Amino acid sequence: MPRTTTDQPTGALPDPRTGKAGPGGAIVPVLAFAGITVAVMQTLLVPVIKDLPELLHTAPANATWVMTATLLAGAISTPIMGRLGDLFGKRRMLLASLAVMVIGSLICGFTDDLVIMIVGRALQGFAMGAIPLGIGIMRDELPRERLGSAMGLMSSSIGVGGGLALPGAALVAQNADWHALFFCAAGLGVLSMLLTVRFVPESSLRATGRFDWLGAIGLSAGLVALLLPITKGSDWGWGSATTLGLFGLAVVILLLWGLMELRSSAPLVDLRTTARREVLLTNLASIMVGVAFYAISLVLPQLLQLPKATGYGLGQSMVVAGLCVAPLGLAMMLTAPVYARISARRGPKVSLMIGMLVIGVGYGAGLGLMSAAWQTVVISVVVGAGIGLAYSSLPALIIGAVDPSETGAANGLNTLMRSIGTSVSSAVIGMVLAHTSVVSGGVAVPTLHGFRISFAIATGAVVIGLALAVFLPSQRPAKSAAAVGAATALAADAGSEAGSGSGSGSGLGSDERVRPRTLVAGSGGFRGRVLDADGTPVARANVTLIDGGGRQAGLTTSDEDGRYALLPPAGGHYVLAGTATGYAPHARPAVYPGDGVPVEADLVLTESAPSPERTAAVPSV
């Protein structure tokens, strides 16, 4: 029996035409709910952050570790869990992330000790790896026509969860013991796990290779050394030996880690892929979007809750302040279908640029709209809509530039870039507000001037992000549409040949590249090898199964011997398409009768000259 790179899901297989898995076809809402749940952890304690020193019986500088621990754990977990999902199953790792979050929430719910609270909060932050895992599952399970809006919703869940958590957490904190926040978080996590088990199938796509434990340790150490001085620099002093020493240590560790990853046969992060123009520029733009996203979350709640006696504060309660900022998350959620339409016509690059422009308009208007609560709602809606468009575009740009087997790890790294952006935003804007504050009643109070500088910084980040997006290569939707049409035509040709009684065969001769012959054999799925013209196995090639309607019905990668296996959802006429880096894509029709015997189908790829544009258009069907 040939070795395969697929595992069949324990539940019902999804219908490739509808994207449904099990009753109700709830893959998208369930994964989006999981994303929102883990995003809630980032803003769960914002309503009580000023009271944490008293609640935990510690100094203010120590209390900030409760927030920093969640940030660090989330940054570390996103690329690691993405890679683990690629290797061992994305749903399995998603459930593991949610389980760790539930355990962390329960630990926090039963303690007032600072150290134990920090441990629990770190476990809560570890769940951030669910975001790239959810995007990867959608890539593997959903048909092309649903993928754009679904990924947009999943990507935006970070902002949706953060925005919706503010009023909810404020309401709980005002009317119950603050530990109830953690029990609510644990309940959300358990519910998300149950829904995932019930409605989300395990992805059939697996990456080959092993997990790079040494690379994971090196990346974790480098990220801790980098993010610690960013988040704690204002407390330690930006020129202190500790801050500068950690920055220097981060540079050394990350450089050594990079050299190690380049020499590894199975790296945690494929740095050669990351260095591609489309991936590198997308990740840099992600940092700028992260800076812009977090700025509004830092400024508006403080502006709304400052007393009117300051002359610019709006004097609102904690709950009202949260409700005024909540439209940020709602606008992000509602822009997912808008993004899908723009991207389908113009490509994700254009939708990213439009999103950046909308964010800039929102922050620009915000420089003068700070005198009433309704004005903050307007700012939240406009900025939220822009961030929703931008966030929705990022995973599509990444997915369009990497192999399907690397989706989880690549999106994990991209999510990490956004986290670095929010960390930089928190540090820089926190420093600005601290240096522009005035003392009122013995307490340092942020000034209107400081708020406006913060908005100006966010606007500057948007401008940089927009400039980076301009240099992204255009992804022409027409190419994808043409690929769909070509695949459909091949499938139709296969059907007509089968009806006319054409011959069959399991090999692939040179004449078949001109006029592919239909494969007729038993069921049990398609299996075979991906070879080059000399008969050498092609490892890590993408093999896509396309049904008669031009929709993706299966996806896998070849192993080190070039072998692959795919199980169609039903009998019928299909097209098998193979692509690999350095080779021209090749497709052939095949028939799956469904009578218990495997269909042998080898794919022969011919080498192609390097091209700046990716040629793997068929697998994106």
Q: What 3 state SS string does 289-320 have?
A: HHHHHHHHHHHHHHHHHCCHHHCCCCCCCHHH
* pLDDT recorded at residue 504: 33
* pLDDT recorded at residue 173: 79
Q: Indicate whether 357 pLDDT > 50.
A: yes
What are the pLDDT digits (tens) for 108-134? 999 999 999 999 999 998 888 888 888
Distance, CA of 514 to CA of 76 (rounded, Å): 49
DSSP, collapsed to helix, strand or coil, labels residue 521 as coil
Q: For residue 275, what is the DSSP state?
A: T
Q: For residue 126, what is the DSSP state?
A: G
More confident residue, 485 or 372: 372
What are the pLDDT digits (tens) for 532-569? 878 888 888 888 888 766 667 778 888 888 888 888 87
Two tokens, residue 365: 């208007």
Question: CATH 1.20.1250.20 in the chain, residues?
Answer: 13-211, 269-475
* pLDDT recorded at residue 475: 55
Distance, CA of 595 to CA of 615 (rounded, Å): 35
* pLDDT recorded at residue 192: 94
What are the pLDDT digits (tens) for 172-229? 877 888 899 999 999 999 999 999 999 988 876 666 678 888 888 998 898 888 888 8
Domain 269-475 has CATH 3.90.180.10: no
Question: CATH 2.60.40.10 in the chain, residues?
Answer: 478-620
250 Cβ partners below 8 Å, 6+ apart? 222, 223, 225, 226, 229
Q: Indicate whether 85 pLDDT > 90.
A: no
pTM for the complete prediction?
0.64
Name residue, tokens 């006429």. Answer: 573
Picking from 230, 245, 247, the residue whose alpha carbon sits closest to that of residue 426 is: 230
* pLDDT recorded at residue 578: 86
More confident residue, 357 or 271: 357
Phi first, then psi: what are they for 64, rounded to 5°?
-65, -20
More confident residue, 495 or 433: 433
Question: What does the pLDDT average to over 293-318?
Answer: 83
- Report the share of the chain in percent with pLDDT over 90: 16
More confident residue, 138 or 461: 461
Q: Indicate whether 506 pLDDT > 90.
A: no
* pLDDT recorded at residue 434: 77
CATH code assigned to 13-211:
1.20.1250.20
Q: Minimum mean pLDDT among 86-90, 290-294, 357-361, 498-502: which range?
A: 498-502
Q: Minimum mean pLDDT among 118-132, 295-309, 333-347: which range?
A: 333-347
More confident residue, 371 or 357: 357
CATH code assigned to 478-620:
2.60.40.10
